[in-house]
């Protein structure tokens, strides 16, 4: 499944999963902040927002350090299309489902999850990452969780799985889904092409407009057991 990912995957896990919302920047940030405030106020956590700018790598670096068990920073980046990209600083990559599916219903608009993780796991060394190639489309007309369409190939702890749900989109190569090798049924190239058909050039740096990015931070008590990691520490096990 090798191909050129965003920054050739050198910023993973920051770029391992990216969320997109087909809406204008201002309502996306507003609805996200309203949602998070309603959840966090009772925990004594406030939201701090600020504009950030620079290269895409510069604004992604504003997310650091990475945190676990939950994200503390969220970055919204306009694009060359009608989609707004979003990232968070979770140690294992952006949780595009939670934000994408919720806001797609609330705004309402289409939401998209793009996950591209090369399979590098080496069981003998207990290093590497389990591979994943996932596209999920959300919307107000989706199922109870907002899903409209899912196509996914995932290494689930050593076993490759293939999953589809919802009606096929017009541009899908459905003939691939019967291939004997699971990893060939939905590749990074397919993921790139499907996203592009929806107006998202997810792996191309010049698709993003980081000069008008926006950062939302959670400020206040940290959850129990919270740990912080540099990007180098997060990548040390790759």
Domain locations in the chain as residue ranges: 6-235
Across-strand partners of 67?
A: 90, 228
Q: Are 28 and 76 in contact (CB under 8 A)?
A: yes
The owner of tokens 């979770």 is: 90
Q: Please report the pLDDT score of residue 125 as a whole number.
A: 65
Q: Return d(Cα 231, Cα 12) in angstroms, integer.
A: 8
Q: Please report the pLDDT score of residue 127 as a whole number.
A: 84
SS3 string, 66-124, reads EEECCCCEEEEEEECCCCEEEEECECCCCCHHHHHHHHHHHCCCCEEEEEEECCCCECC
Across-strand partners of 160?
A: 155
Q: Return d(Cα 2, Cα 189) in angstroms, integer.
A: 9
Q: Return d(Cα 79, Cα 25) in angstroms, integer.
A: 10
Residues of the chain by 3-state class (helix, strand, coil), percent to 5: 30, 30, 40
Q: Please report the pLDDT score of residue 22 as a whole number.
A: 98
Block mean pLDDT (10 aa), the chain, length 238: 84 98 98 96 94 98 97 98 98 97 97 97 82 98 96 95 98 98 98 98 98 97 94 94
Residue 204 CA to its chain's centroid (Å): 15
Secondary structure class of 161 (helix, strand, coil): strand
Q: Return d(Cα 132, Cα 183) in angstroms, integer.
A: 9
Question: At 174, which helix (H) or strand (E)?
Answer: none
Residue 211 burial (C-beta neighbours within 10 Å; 0-12, 13-18, 19+): middle
């Amino acid at each position: 499944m090798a191909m050129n990912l965003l920054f050739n995957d050198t910023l993973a896990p920051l770029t391992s999963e990216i969320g997109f919302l087909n809406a204008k920047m201002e309502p996306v940030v507003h609805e996200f902040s309203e949602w998070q405030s309603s959840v966090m106020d009772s925990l004594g956590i406030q939201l701090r927002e600020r504009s950030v700018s620079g290269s895409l790598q510069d604004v992604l670096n504003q997310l650091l350090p990475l945190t676990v068990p939950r994200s503390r920073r969220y970055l919204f980046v306009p694009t060359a299309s009608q989609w707004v990209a979003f990232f968070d600083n979770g140690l294992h990559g952006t949780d595009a489902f939670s934000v994408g599916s919720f806001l797609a219903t609330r705004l309402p608009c289409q939401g998209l999850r793009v996950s591209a993780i090369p399979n590098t796991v080496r069981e003998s060394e207990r290093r590497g990452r389990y591979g994943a190639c996932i596209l999920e489309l959300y919307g107000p007309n989706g199922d109870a969780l907002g899903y409209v369409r899912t196509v996914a190939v995932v290494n689930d702890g050593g076993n490759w799985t293939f999953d589809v749900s919802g009606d096929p989109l017009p541009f899908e190569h459905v003939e691939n889904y019967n291939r004997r090798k699971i990893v060939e049924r939905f590749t990074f190239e397919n993921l790139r092409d499907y996203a592009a058909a929806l107006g998202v050039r997810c792996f191309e740096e010049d698709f993003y407009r980081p000069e008008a990015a926006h950062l939302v931070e959670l400020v206040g008590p940290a959850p129990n057991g919270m740990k912080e990691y540099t990007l180098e520490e997060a990548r040390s096990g790759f």
